[in-house]
Amino acid sequence: MNVPKLRFKEFTDVWKEYPLKYFTTPIKRKNINNESDLPLTISSLDGLVDQRTYFNKVVASKDMSNYYLLKKGEFAYNKSYSVGFPFGSIKRLDKYNQGALSSLYICFQVNNMNSDFIVKYFESPQWHKQISLCVAEGARNHGLLNVNINDFFSTKHFLPQLAEQEKIANFLAIVDKKITNLENIITSLENQKKGLLQQIFSQKLRFKDKNGNNYPNWEKKKLGKLLSITSSKRVHEADWTTSGIPFYRARDIVSIFNNKPISKIYISEKLYEECSSSCGKISENDLLVTGVGTIGIPYLVKKSDKFYFKDGNIIWLKNSPAIYGKYLFYIFISSYVQKQINMMTGKGTVGTYTIKNAKDTNILLSCLEEQTKIANFLSAFDRKLENQKAQLEHWKQIKKGLLQQMFV
C-alpha cells in the first residue's frame, strides 16, 4: 500500500500518485534589465543562498539578464550531485524576496499543495527513485546530472490529502525549530569560548591560588627553549596499507579538530616500529600541529593513542615538564599564537608552518598550577559545548529517520 511507515493515527487514506507537473508550474521568468542584482546558488545543506557570500567571490556573470528571476516561495532544482545528495537538491527560496539564478537550474512554483510539506518532501530521499529513472544512462557530466526538463516534470510522487500534509509540515517544523535552537546555542557558546581565550591569554582574566592570592607574573618564552620540536621519519605513499597502524596527514588532524571523519590510511606494524626506532613514538601530552593546508591546528596526544604521521606536514612538540599539555593546546588555538602563525606563514599565500617557525613561536608561560587551572576551566567549557553538539547530532538523526519514514 502507498502509505508511509510512520503516520498520524487519524489519517488512513492511501496516498495518491501525482506527476510533478500536476502540482507545479515551470518558471522561465527572466531577470530582464537585471531586476535583481542578487546572484543565487543552491547549497544542499543551506538552501538557496547568496552566491557571493557562499563562495566568497562573484561567480555569476556581470550581466544576469539571461538568468531566471526567482521570487520568494518558489523552488529550484540543482542537478549537481555531491556526497549525501546523489540526485542533487530541490530547495525553496526563503531567505530573500527575489534573486537571479542560472538557467542551468530548473525552477518552478507549487500549486494546490502545502508548500511547507513539499519543502520537507524534497528534504527526504523518497523523490530520488523517480529522478533516478529519468537520469540518462552514464550521464554525469562535470558533476551535473543529465535530467531532461520534460522528464523532470513527468516524475511521479505520492502525496496525501492537504490536512495530512499540513500536520506533517507542522510537526517537522517543530523538529527544525529544536535543531535551530541548538545551533544557536552552539554558536553562542563558541563565541563565548573565543572571548574567554582572548581574555585569559591577554591576562585580563586571571586565576587565584587556593588562598586567594595572585599567581606569579607570566613570562614570554620561545617554544624552542622549552621543549623538543621535531617531526617524523618519512613514509612514502607506496607504503600505505588498508590496515595496521593509523597514518595521519595534516587534513586528518584538521578533521579530528572539527569532529569530522578521517581518512582510513595505515602503515604496517613493521614499518611503524622501524620508523619509531629512529624518531621515537608519540606519548601523552605531546602536541601535533599542522604545518600545511589549514595551518596551526593542534592535536593533543592521548594516553591511548597509537598512530604515525606524515613528516613535514605535521610538527611534533614533545611534552615537557614545564608546560601542562592541555594549557599548550589552548594557547595554540588562541589568537595570541594564531596571529604569530599567520605572520610567519604569510597572508594570502600558500604557506607552511615549519619546525623553525614552531621553535620561534612565543607563548605566555604561567606557573604549572595556574596552567592547570586555566586548562581545566576551558576543558569544562568544552565539555558543555560538546554536550550541545551531541544533542544537535541526536536531533539531526531523529529528523533523518522521520524524513525516511513519514513520506512514500
Predicted confidence (pLDDT) per residue in 243-293, tens digit: 999 999 999 999 999 999 999 999 999 999 999 998 999 999 999 999 999
Residue 153: predicted pLDDT: 97
Residue 380: predicted pLDDT: 98
Report if pTM > 0.85. yes
Q: Which of 237, 243, 262 is nearest to 252 (CA)?
A: 262
Tell me if 337 sits within 8 A of 315, measured CB to CB: no
Query: CA–CA separation, 185 vs 377, rounded Å?
Result: 19
Residue 347: predicted pLDDT: 56
Query: Is the predicted pLDDT of residue 137 greater than 60, yes or no?
Result: no
Residue 139: predicted pLDDT: 53
Out of 3.40.50.300, 3.40.190.100, 3.40.250.10, 3.90.220.20, the CATH code matching 219-365 is 3.90.220.20
Amino acid identity for residue 50 in this structure? D
Beta bridge partners, 101, equal: 68
Same fold, 16-159 and 161-209+369-408: no
At 171, the pLDDT band (50, 70, 90 cuts) reads very high
State the chain's mean pLDDT as an integer: 94
Helix (H, G, I), strand (E, B) or coil at 27: coil
Q: Which three cell numbers stand for residue 346?
A: 604569510
For residues 135-147, give the mean pLDDT: 67
Contacts of 15 (CB under 8 A, 6+ apart): 2, 3, 4, 158, 159, 160, 408
Residue 312: predicted pLDDT: 86
Percent of the chain with pLDDT over 70: 97
Q: Which of 345, 300, 335 is nearest to 318 (CA)?
A: 300
Per-domain residue ranges for the chain? 16-159, 161-209+369-408, 219-365
Q: Which three cell numbers stand for residue 195?
A: 572571548
**161-209+369-408 domain in CATH 1.20.1250.20?**
no
Greater confidence (348 vs 21) lies with: 21
Query: Is the predicted pLDDT of residue 138 greater than 90, yes or no?
Result: no
For residues 193-215, give the mean pLDDT: 95
Residue 140: predicted pLDDT: 55
Query: CA–CA separation, 145 vs 131, rounded Å?
Result: 10
Q: What's the CATH number for 16-159?
A: 3.90.220.20
CA 338 to chain CA centroid, Å, is 21
For residues 167-176, give the mean pLDDT: 98
Q: Would you say how long the chain is, in residues?
A: 408
Cell 546572484, located at residue: 39
